[in-house]
Amino acid sequence: MNAFLVEQTKEDFTATAVFQNNAELAAIRLKRFAATSPDTPPVVESGFELILQHRQLEAGFHSDEASFAIEIRLEAIGDKQPDKQLFSISCCYELTYDLRPGYTPSPLEISAFHSGNALFHCWPFVREFAQNATQRMGIPVPPIPMFRVQMKEAAAIKQESEAAKKTASKRRSPKLSPPDNP
C-alpha cells in the first residue's frame, strides 16, 4: 500500500498527545504556492513517479496560540525518464491552534506535533491543491497517497543515535584552534 509515512518515537507520540489535548485547530492558511508544467501538456504513456518532500518551517507559540508552517513539494517524473518532468508543485501552509488557558507547550511538544500532527492536518489540503492544479495543467490527476504516522522502530532509533554521535564527533574542532573570523 502506497503511503506518505512519518515515523515518530514513543516520546514524540506522548508529547503530541499532550499538545493535542490542550489545543484546537483554529485556521489553516495557504501561505504561498508555485506550480509548473511543461510548455505543452505532456503525454503520459506508461505512468509516472511521484516524488514527495516536506520541510518543517517555523513553529512557535504565543500566550494563547501556537502556529506552524509546513512546506510540501510534489514532483512527477513521467514515463520512467528522469529528464521528463510532468509537473512540480510546492505549497506552504500555516496552521494556527488555540491553546487552552494556562497551557505552555514544551519544546518537545511543539517539535513532535509539528513533525506529525500539524503535517497530518494540512495533508487533505495538499492533496486537494495538487489534484486541482494538475487537472488545470491538463495532466492526469495523480493519486496522492494517504498520510500515515507510525512508531519508529527501536533499531532505527539506535542507528540514528549512533550516526548522530559519529557526525558530532567529526564536527568537533581541536581545543586550541582559533575561532573563525568572518
Rounded to whole angstroms, the Cα distance separating 120 from 172 reads 37
Domains of the chain: 23-148 (3.10.420.10)
Q: What is the DSSP string of 33-88?
A: EEEE--SSPPP-SS-EEEEEEEEEEEEEE-SSEEEEEEEEEEEEEETT-TT-EEEE
- For residue 30, the surrounding DSSP H or E stretch is strand 23-36
The per-residue pLDDT for 82 is 62
Rounded to whole angstroms, the Cα distance separating 59 from 8 reads 18
Structure letter (DSSP) for residue 103:
-
Q: What number of residues does the chain have?
A: 182
Mean pLDDT over 148-160 rounds to 61
Structure letter (DSSP) for residue 167:
H
Q: What percent of the chain has pLDDT over 90?
A: 20
Q: What is the pLDDT of residues 84-115, one digit of tens each?
A: 778 889 999 999 999 999 999 999 988 888 88
pTM metric for this prediction = 0.74
Q: What is the pLDDT of residues 18-55, one digit of tens each?
A: 988 999 999 999 999 999 888 777 777 767 777 888 88
Q: Are 78 and 38 in contact (CB under 8 A)?
A: no
Q: What is the pLDDT of residues 43-91, one digit of tens each?
A: 777 677 778 888 888 888 888 999 999 998 988 887 656 677 788 899 9
pLDDT at 177 over 60: no
